[in-house]
Amino acid sequence: MSGITVLRLSHRIGRDERVTTHVGLTARAFGAKGIAIAGDYDPGVLESLRRVTEVWGGPFEVQYVGDWREYLRSAKSRGDLVVHLTMYGVPLPEVLEELRRALSERNMVVVVGSSKVPREVYELADLNVSIGNQPHSEVAALAVFLDRLLDGLVFRISFPDARLRVVPHPRRKVVLRRREEALAGAEKDRSPGREALNVGND
Ligand code: SAM
């Protein structure tokens, strides 16, 4: 299957650090192959997403985009499908099968906004898609979009090069780390090259 890159428009330093970071974390965790961030150049956000990828695994490409128009035009000229998430678009269930078919052959760029989205984005997009027709959030819209499109990949995804890996547990935090040495009190894990850190409940 081809890959999905999320294009985050109009990032604003001083207002959007947290939400843009959450867009990136959601993109990675739900199965996109990368994020491109347009708007203010913000090395802090880029660095924090790269750091998460280093620790929790990739591949996940994080890049800054100076000119989003040029980015979208060249994506389209390479044959990528551009999907803009907007409350004004076509409901996702109506185009889901079409999008799945397209993704089996082409890369996809999924555009999310922050402040007012320029009209040009609606025109450059191959499809404007809504996750319900009420205003909510780019993080919520992206999560639902990726979850439906990739059929719950978030529950199956794994990152082979991760330094840390969570072992699901009903009552406490259990994290495996790739390093050989165990922390005091750590319980041994059976997977080669990994040891369990019982990090507690906080
Ligand atoms: N006022 C902005 C506008 O005029 O487009 C929308 C701001 S909204 C907080 C930020 C982003 O969340 C939007 O650009 C869109 O990508 C996404 N979003 C919000 N509600 C959505 C919905 N119902 N369906 C799809 N995407 C949505």
pLDDT tens, residue by residue, 65-123 = 999 999 999 999 999 999 999 999 999 999 999 999 999 999 999 999 998 999 999 99
Question: Minimal CA–CA distance to 103: which of 153, 35, 149?
Answer: 149
Domain count, the chain: 2
Radius of gyration of the chain from its Cα atoms, rounded to whole angstroms: 19
Q: How far is the CA of 87 from the centre of ligand 1 (A)?
A: 6
- Indicate if 71 and 34 belong to the same structural domain: yes
Q: How far is the CA of 133 from the centre of ligand 1 (A)?
A: 10
**What is the structure's pLDDT at 115?**
87
**What is the structure's pLDDT at 106?**
98
Q: How far is the CA of 92 from the centre of ligand 1 (A)?
A: 14
Q: Which residues' Cβ are closer than 6 Å to ligand 1? A: 85-87, 112-114, 116-117, 130-132, 134-138, 141
Identify the three-state secondary structure at position 177.
strand
Question: Minimal CA–CA distance to 68: which of 149, 4, 128, 125?
Answer: 125
User: Is it the case that residue 202 has pLDDT exceeding 50?
Assistant: no
**pLDDT tens per residue across span 145-194:** 999 999 999 999 999 999 999 999 999 999 999 864 344 344 544 455 55
Which runs of E-coded beta strand occur in the chain?
4-11, 34-39, 61-65, 81-91, 108-112, 127-130, 164-166, 173-177, 195-200
- Indicate if 150 and 168 belong to the same structural domain: no
Query: For residue 103, what is the domain's CATH number?
Result: 3.40.1280.10
Q: Which atom of ligand 1 is nearest to the CA of 134?
A: 23
pTM of the predicted structure, to 2 decimals: 0.90
**What is the structure's pLDDT at 194?**
59
**What is the structure's pLDDT at 183?**
44
- Whose Cα sits closest to atom 17 in ligand 1? 138
- Indicate if 114 and 185 belong to the same structural domain: no
Query: How far is Cα 67 from Cα 37, in angstroms, rounded to an integer?
Result: 10
- Indicate if 28 and 83 belong to the same structural domain: yes
**What is the structure's pLDDT at 197?**
59
- Indicate if 121 and 61 belong to the same structural domain: yes
Q: Which residue has the higher pLDDT, 201 or 60?
A: 60
**pLDDT tens per residue across span 15-74:** 999 999 999 999 999 999 999 999 999 999 999 999 999 999 999 999 999 999 999 999
For 170, the domain range is: 164-200
